[in-house]
Every structure is written in structure tokens, then in C-alpha cells.
Chains A and B, each alone.
Chain A
């Protein structure tokens, strides 16, 4: 698959620009807060050449939070890009389809039992997410013709059922647990530690390049199963492997920060438009997701200071109108 050079260049430029934006957002996120740190001091603290309390604030409090946000965003962006590509539907993102809801059920079950380690949390949410994915795939399997919305609607139904399970667990819990879990279910980056970074990092480091390597095959899959088979793609395997990786990434994101809404929906679309790509631009989408989450977290902390809203509230308030815009566009006759 050779792309025209100008297009490859555009993608590279967009990726570099996003990486720069991410670095700036991380810098701001580490520097801003109730205790402001100047950018030069941030760098000095990172290198360990600053007073101890400054090093502590930057290295142990702010940096893990910012990095978790970036990694979670990257996981969501890449995962969403693959889902949308495989389902051939811009509305098919792990949060709308109930994958995140499945991961939440698994995680909440575990969180109710106490304060589990990050690895156990990842395992629980991955289990819940894969369960939901299998269920949705089973219910939406085609038996009389394929419609692009069927998968989404089935996913919404499954998400509703799983959400009712979560609400049931919440109501049964004591007030302290319920409040803690509600905050978690909104998607929050409060009080992240290096252990949280450690959970999401491996998934992103392995998953995103793996998905990026699948890009050319995914691009062929978008042409339709028959054509892709004719062009030499093993359709079943390509789809299965990429979706499995995407589900694990979505689960890792939930384990890292709770179910943050709308990032997996919006980031791939922004990335596609920015890179003018005809395929799921996985890396660009991951970068885009990272910028969105770190930026939203920054906004959530700064706009309503001293109250720190959970990051999920900001992404939902910004993301829902975006979803509505997608719908309005889809309703235009030339697209529909």
C-alpha cells in the first residue's frame, strides 16, 4: 500500500503537531493546579534539581496523573479508531457499544470488595469488556442482511442492561462506596499513582503499534468483505485480532481512569479529518485522544477551581454535542 507522498507527509506533520500539543498539555497539566509550578521549575523538578517538596509534587502527584491521562486517551483513541473502521460506522465506539459498560461491571464488582491492586483491576475490566464484546457480536451477528446501525443499536441495548447491573451494585453498596464508585464511573484522574501508569502503559506500548501494523488491512476491510478477500486479506482473522486488541485497550483505559465517555468516539473522527486519511489513522488517533484527555483534565481542574470536576464530565459535555453533530450530518441525504 503506497500512499501519495503529499498525503504521507500530511500525516507526519499532523502527528508531529499533535505530539507537540501533547507535550505542551502535559507540561501545563504538571505545572498548573492549586500549587502552581513554573515550566522551568517543572523541568528542573523532573531532573531532580529542585527543592524536595517541589520534586515530590511534580514527580509523585502531578506527573502520574498527567501520564495516566495521556495513556488512557491514547488507548481510547486507538481502540475507537479500530472499532469505527471495522464496524464501518462512525458511531461504533467502545463506550456507545457497551464495551466500556462491561469493563465497568467487572471493575465495580472488584472495587466493591475493597481496594484492589491495579493488575487485578485490569484483569477484571478486561474480563467484563470481553464478555460484553462477545455478547454484542453474538446478538448483532448478521442473519438477514447487514445494516450499519444494527450493531450500534444492539450495543446501546447491551450497554443499558450492563449499566442497570452497575446501578444495582451501587444501590446495594454503602454510601461511602457508592460515592467513591460514582466518581470512578464518571471517569476521573484524581489521585493516580505510578501503579496506574504501570497498568495502562504496557497495553498502550504493545497495543497501539500492533493496531498500527494492521492499518493497511483494516483499510482494505473497509472496502467490504468480498473485495478484501479478493485482495488477499484473511478477513476473519484480521477482524478478530484487531478487535481483540481494541477491546483490551478499551479495558485498560477503564482500569486506568474509569469509563471516560466520548473520547473514543471523537478522537478517531478528528484524526481522520486532520490527517485526511482514508484509513483508521491509529497513531494519529491515539495522539489525538491523549491530547483530548489531558486537555479535558486540565480544564476540569482549572475552570471550576478549587473544585476538581472529574474529567469524564468535561469530555461528556463537550463530546455529546459532537455526537449530535455527527448524527445531523449523517441525516443529510448525500451522506445517508
Chain B
């Protein structure tokens, strides 16, 4: 954990220093403590700090949300992207902006939350219909179908409005560039509340991991913590999507990495997932800036490129694929 924190600090430093214009670390420090309006100071303060801060909170939120989802559904393939929550939240944002002309992020974040909640509920209901519990593959497939439906509606809305399309093609792949600190501030309440609820209910996740019957016999109520945890997921994902767009696959890959570090107990797993998620998103953002110089690859594309192979590797493991 300490090592992870150090790595995260290093990634943040790299995020402040690297980019289309590299800035020596000494100047970065200078900009932080002694702001004098020089170009370097401006770049660090106005551009790099906001995007690093946003990458940090978005990564932490998505990592935590992924860990909660995987625990809640007892499904190693659970991820806000795969289970349709991202797509629902995106549609919520697009509807808020086009349908209602809402430009205020703290308002359309609510649309993202509602959209994500609806999509997630539909996916879970579909994946869990029938006598058997929601199995990994069925949930993933149901999520995919809902995502396809919701995305095609989103795309149709975007195609109808050409002016907004330019802005949205960057938002829709997930990006932390060009967001002001105010945006981070506006979604922070969503993320803090969601994270707090998740951590508070962590022990219920441990009980649920044993199966519903066992959880009940251990004296843990099953229904109420589930609702609370699902609400936490939706708040975390909705906030993250409203600010940065649907960043793919973070929620999938991160908890598996975190489990390797701290094991399965959720009280330790959730904070660790937050750390790893922040590390992944900040790192992916830096990587995206370096790999496509002088342009940039948005962070969502980098995380998808990392996350998709992880998904395939998980599917190939027998425990997951065998239904």
C-alpha cells in the first residue's frame, strides 16, 4: 500500500511535468509554491493541476465502484462499462444537454446518476432473470446489449446536432483534458458520498461474498446494504462520467490488481482499489500524452487498450467461463 502511494505520487509528479511541453520538476515545484505568472507556472497551475486532480478522483471513484460492483454481484466481470452504467450515464448527460439545454455540470451530473441507475437496474434484472442467480457471462451479455441500445440512441442524438458533435467526440471516449478545477469540485460531493457509503458498507460485501444464505445466517441483512451499495456505485460512476466521460475498463481491471496486493477483505480492498484506480487513470493520462505527441490520446482510449486484454484474460480463466 505504501509502495502504491509512492507510485501514485510519482505518477502525479509526472503528470504535472510531462506533456507536449515538458517542464523540469524544479519549475513545477516553483509553480506550486511561488507563483509568478511565468508560462511554465501558468501551464502547471491552469492546465496540469486541474487535469491531474480530475484524473485522481475519477480513477479512485471508478476503481472503488468496480470493486463494489464485483463484490455486490459476486461477478469477476462486473464493471461500470460492461454492465451498462457508463452508457446509461452518458445518455443521461446527452439528454440533459440536448433535451433540456442544461449546461451546469452539477445539475447534469444528476442526469448521469439517474441514467446510470436505470441502465444498471435493467442489466441486473435481465442478467438475473430465471431461476439461477446472475452468472458472470449473462450479466456481461445483458450489459452489452443494453450498452448497444443506449449508445445507438446517444449516437443518433449526436448525429442530429452537428455543432455539439465536435465537443462530444472527445467527451464520449473519456478524457480529463481541458477540465477546470471547478468541475472536479462540482462532482466531488457525489464521489465523496458514494465512497463513504461504500467503505461504511464494506463488511457487508465480505458477508455477501459467502453467498446470500451464509450472509443471512451470519446476521447480516442482505437487502438494505445491497441497495446502499448499489446507490454508492451509481453516485461514483455518475459523478465520474459527468466529469470525464465514460472511461472504460478501469472498474474491471483495478480490483483484480488490488486483490493481488491486499487480498479479498473489502475493508482493505476498497481503499486499495481507489489507489490503484487513481494510479491507472493518472498513468494512462500521462501515457496518452506521451504516445501521441504532439497530440494526445484521451485517457479512455488508453484504459480501454489496457483493460480489454485483461477482460479477455479473465474470460479465458476457466472459473469465469464455466457457467
Contact = CB atoms under 8 A, between A and B. Distances in A.
Interface in B145-177: 145-146, 148-149, 151-153, 155-156, 158-160, 162, 165-166, 169-170, 173
Given A154-B312, A168-B301, A336-B132, 7 more contacts: A152-B141, A156-B141, A156-B144, A170-B169, A320-B145, A328-B129, A331-B138
A336 B301 contact: no
Contacts of A319: 148
Interface stretch (B20-28, B33-41, B220-228, B313-321): B313-321
Interface of A: 91, 96, 139-140, 144-145, 147, 149-150, 152-154, 156-158, 160-161, 163-165, 167-168, 170-172, 175, 178-179, 182-183, 186, 261-262, 307, 309-310, 312-313, 316-317, 319-321, 323-324, 327-328, 330-333, 336
A312 B141 contact: no
Contact of B321 (A149, A182, A323): A149
Contacts of B145: 320, 323-324, 327
Interface stretch (B101-109, B183-191, B256-264, B290-298): B290-298
Given A168-B301, A331-B129, A317 B137 contact: no
9 cross-chain pairs, A with B, having the tightest CB-CB distances, nearest first: A320-B149, A316-B152, A331-B130, A161-B308, A164-B304, A157-B312, A149-B137, A157-B311, A153-B315
Interface in B95-154: 126-127, 129-132, 137-138, 140-142, 144-146, 148-149, 151-153
B144 A154 contact: no
A262 B138 CA distance: 18
Interface of B: 77, 126-127, 129-132, 137-138, 140-142, 144-146, 148-149, 151-153, 155-156, 158-160, 162, 165-166, 169-170, 173, 248-249, 292, 295, 297-298, 300-301, 304-305, 307-309, 311-312, 315-316, 318, 321-323
Given A153-B321, A309-B156, A160 B301 contact: no
Contact of A171 (B131, B137, B142, B169): B169
A100 B173 CA distance: 20
A154 B309 CA distance: 9
Contact of B297 (A150, A158, A171): A171
B304 A160 contact: yes
B120 to A, nearest CB: 15
Tell me the dominant secondary structure on chain A's binding face: helix
B309 A167 contact: no
A150 B173 CA distance: 27
A145 B318 contact: yes
Contacts of B322: 145, 147
B308 A182 contact: no
